[in-house]
Amino acid sequence: MSSAYSNALSGLTANSNAINIVSGNLANLSTAGYKDQQVSFEDLVNESISGFTNTSSISGSVLAQGTQQFTQGTLETTGNPYDAAIQGGGFFVVDTTAGTPLYTRQGNFDVNAAGQLVTATGQFVQGWNNVNGTLNTGGLTSNIVVPTDLTSPPVASTQFSASANLSANVVFGATPPATFSSPVQVYDSVGNPHNLTITYTAGSTPGNWNYAITIPSADLASPTTPPTALASGTLTFDSTGTLTSPAAGSGPIAITVPTLADGGAFASALNWNLYSPTGASTLTQFASASVNNGTTQDGSSAGLPTSVGIGANGQVVAKFSNGNSEVVAQIALASVLNPDSMQQLDGNTFAPTSLTAKPTVGVPSTGALGSITGGTLETSTVDIASEFTHLLEYERGYQANSKVITTEDQVVQQTIALITG
């Protein structure tokens, strides 16, 4: 009779603990990066009783453990700049104030008052910082810091292009000749803009155009009136309206800019590219009206930060008002060969145990590490339908074991009655 009591009590404890695990899963239904626990049971006692004609077995049960299931959760876009989600294997590495590395899949990060990237519970996200323009992902990781004094220095233009059509319907050789111009804005070394003007003048024969490039006299330390051409020459188009001279392989047209009034400069000759990288001419001569289709150049003014957030593959990217961007840090990931051996702690974090293989830290999307998507979170892997099903199952198990106790109690009472009667 005592074994029936112990069996039932063991069953009550096992199913009660199972209900506790299910309740924990349901409580974390909306916790980003949470991994549901799977309930596992195993025998506590297995005792054989031998008789003359048969052998019977008396068994109890105990809850072995709640095993974390590290399956992939769905990625959900949040729009928050410091949110991050892992697609694939790996964990974010976070550090406590005591310097103990922990691991998590929960990526709802933020920046504290010191500019450090932290978890919702204040732990420091680990990675590599850009130091003096160098991001060394081969070195040791440290607390990621988002600089508060970010600026984007000006970049002097070194090349530009102007896409335009020069009308084939103008009268060549007329007096005065037909003209058309393309404005191009470039930047000097201190970030000031300068408006160059490319003036195209129809030549004496069809298909021939002369060009001259000028800069406003006020921009120069020694102004001239009228402005002196920085470069001039001839353009030739064939019968299909395609530029043939200068030829595609002749390289860009070099422009030398005199000393500027603002003290800025262009580091080298300013190059006018007449052909795209694929070899197509940026200028045409078709029968339609002369028109400018756009310009490109590689310079910029100084810029102030407009936003900072987590970009592709865990890069912390600062964007500036001048259109430039800079990677200021890189988030690290850690690969754990047997993650289910880790101990779950507060804040949806995990700590290695003596059974855990040594974590390998690296850059996302390398080796066994997954990728990181910014502005998203990995949702909880808890399935509410499955958890409710398990809840009913364990509740029935608890009821069944409690019924064994009441039944056994009745048997005991009947036995006592027989003895005392």
**Cα separation, 160 vs 403, whole angstroms:** 86
Would the pLDDT of 59 be above 60?
Answer: no
**Cα separation, 305 vs 152, whole angstroms:** 8
Query: Mean per-residue pLDDT for 408-418?
Result: 79
Query: Mean per-residue pLDDT for 286-310?
Result: 95
**Cα separation, 100 vs 308, whole angstroms:** 27
- Whether a cis peptide bond, with omega within 30° of 0, leads into 339 is no
Structure tokens at 233: 């020459």
Q: What angle do CA 216, 222, 228 make, to 5 degrees?
A: 50
**Cα separation, 354 vs 357, whole angstroms:** 8
Chain-centre distance of CA 317, in angstroms? 9
**Cα separation, 41 vs 393, whole angstroms:** 13
Cβ burial, residue 162 (10 Å; 0-12/13-18/19+): buried
Query: Mean per-residue pLDDT for 339-354?
Result: 91
pTM of the model: 0.70
**Cα separation, 273 vs 144, whole angstroms:** 41
Position with higher pLDDT, 232 vs 8: 232
**Cα separation, 298 vs 273, whole angstroms:** 12
Query: Which of 196-200, 268-272, 379-383 comes out lowest in average pLDDT?
Result: 379-383
Q: What is the pLDDT of residue 173?
A: 94
Structure confidence by residue, pLDDT tens digits, 204-215:
999 999 999 999
Q: What angle do CA 354, 359, 363 make, to 5 degrees?
A: 170
Structure tokens at 13: 């404890």
Structure tokens at 396: 């029935």
Q: What is the pLDDT of residue 20?
A: 82
Query: What would you report as the CA-atom Rg of the chain, rounded to the nearest whole angstrom?
Result: 37
Q: What does the longest C-alpha to C-alpha distance in the chain come to?
A: 139
Residues of the chain above pLDDT 90, percent: 63
Question: Which residues are within 8 A (CB) of 43 and not within 5 positions of it... i.e. 6 or more apart?
Answer: 59, 60, 61, 62
When pLDDT is cut at 50, 70 and 90, the band that residue 404 belongs to is confident
Position with higher pLDDT, 243 vs 249: 243
Q: What is the pLDDT of residue 58?
A: 54
Q: Which helix (H) or strand (E) holds 14?
A: helix 2-27
When pLDDT is cut at 50, 70 and 90, the band that residue 36 belongs to is confident
Structure confidence by residue, pLDDT tens digits, 159-218:
999 999 999 999 999 999 999 999 999 999 999 999 999 999 999 999 999 999 999 999
Query: Which of 51-65, 296-310, 387-401, 405-419 comes out lowest in average pLDDT?
Result: 51-65
Structure confidence by residue, pLDDT tens digits, 82-123:
999 999 999 999 998 777 899 999 999 999 999 999 999 999
| CA distances in angstroms from 15 to 37, 47, 63, listed in the order given | 15, 22, 8
Output the average pLDDT for the chain: 88
Upper half-sphere CA count for residue 139 (Cβ side, 13 Å): 12
Nearest to 272 by CA among 156, 161, 155, 158: 161
Residues 362/346, Cβ–Cβ less than 8 Å: no
Which region holds residue 180: left if phi is over 0, alpha if psi is between -120 and 50, else beta? Answer: beta
Q: What is the pLDDT of residue 104?
A: 95
Domain ranges of the chain: 2-71+381-420, 77-151+307-377, 159-297
Structure confidence by residue, pLDDT tens digits, 232-248:
999 999 999 999 999 99
Residues 125/107, Cβ–Cβ less than 8 Å: no
Q: What is the pLDDT of residue 63?
A: 59
Residues 152/322, Cβ–Cβ less than 8 Å: yes
**At the topology level of CATH, where does 159-297 sit?**
Tick-borne Encephalitis virus Glycoprotein; domain 1 (2.60.98)
Q: What angle do CA 277, 278, 280 make, to 5 degrees?
A: 100
Nearest to 36 by CA among 325, 382, 322: 382
3-class SS letters over 22-84: HHHHHHCCCCCCCCCEEEEEEEEEEEEEECCCCEEEEEEEEEEEEEECCCCCCEEECCCCCEE
Would the pLDDT of 381 be above 90?
Answer: no
Position with higher pLDDT, 221 vs 418: 221
Q: What is the pLDDT of residue 52?
A: 44
Q: What is the pLDDT of residue 371?
A: 96
Q: How do beta strands 343-345 and 349-351 pair?
A: antiparallel
Would the pLDDT of 45 be above 90?
Answer: no
